[in-house]
Structure 1
Amino acid sequence: MAQIFLSLGSNIDRERHIRAGLTALAARFGELQISRVFESEAVGFEGDNFYNLVVGIHTDLPVGQLALRLREIEDANGRLRSGPKFSARTLDIDILTYDDLSGTVDGVKLPRAEIEKNAFVLQPLAELAPEVVHPLTDKTFARMWAEYDKSKQKLWPVEFIWP
Structure 2
Amino acid sequence: MLAYVGLGSNLGDRAAYLLAASSLLSRLPKTHLRRLSSVYETAPLGPPQPPYLNLVAEVETGLGPRELLEALLGVERALGRERKERWGPRTIDLDLLLYGDLVLEEEGLQVPHPRLHERAFVLVPLLDLLPEGRHPALGLGFAELLAALDASGVSPLVL
TM-score, normalisation: structure 2 = 0.91
**Identity, % of aligned pairs?**
30
2:63 counterpart of 1:64: no
Partner of 2:10: 11
Does the 8 A contact of 2:33 with 2:57 survive in 1? Answer: no
Does the 8 A contact of 1:37 with 1:158 survive in 2? Answer: yes
2:42 counterpart of 1:40: yes
Does the 8 A contact of 2:76 with 2:92 survive in 1? Answer: yes
Partner of 1:20: 20
| Alpha-carbon shift at residue 15 of structure 1 (Å) | 1.1
CA RMSD of aligned residues (A): 1.6
| Alpha-carbon shift at residue 103 of structure 1 (Å) | 2.8
- Alignment partners' CA distance in 2, 1:106 and 1:85: 18
Write out aligned runs for 1:1-163 (5 A).
Answer: 2-13=1-12, 14-28=14-28, 29-81=31-83, 83-105=84-106, 107-145=108-146, 147-150=147-150, 153-159=152-158
| Alpha-carbon shift at residue 128 of structure 1 (Å) | 1.2
Does the 8 A contact of 1:127 with 1:142 survive in 2? Answer: no
Q: Secondary structure at the match of 1:32?
A: strand
- Alignment partners' CA distance in 2, 1:46 and 1:124: 23
TM-score, normalisation: structure 1 = 0.89
Does the 8 A contact of 2:118 with 2:149 survive in 1? Answer: no
C-alpha distance after superposition, 1:45-74 (max 9, x if no partner): 100110001111011111111111111110
Which one-letter code corresponds to 2:11 in the other structure?
I
Does the 8 A contact of 1:63 with 1:106 survive in 2? Answer: no
- Alignment partners' CA distance in 2, 1:122 and 1:39: 13
Misfit runs of 4+, over 3 Å: none
Unmatched 5+ residue regions in structure 2?
Answer: none
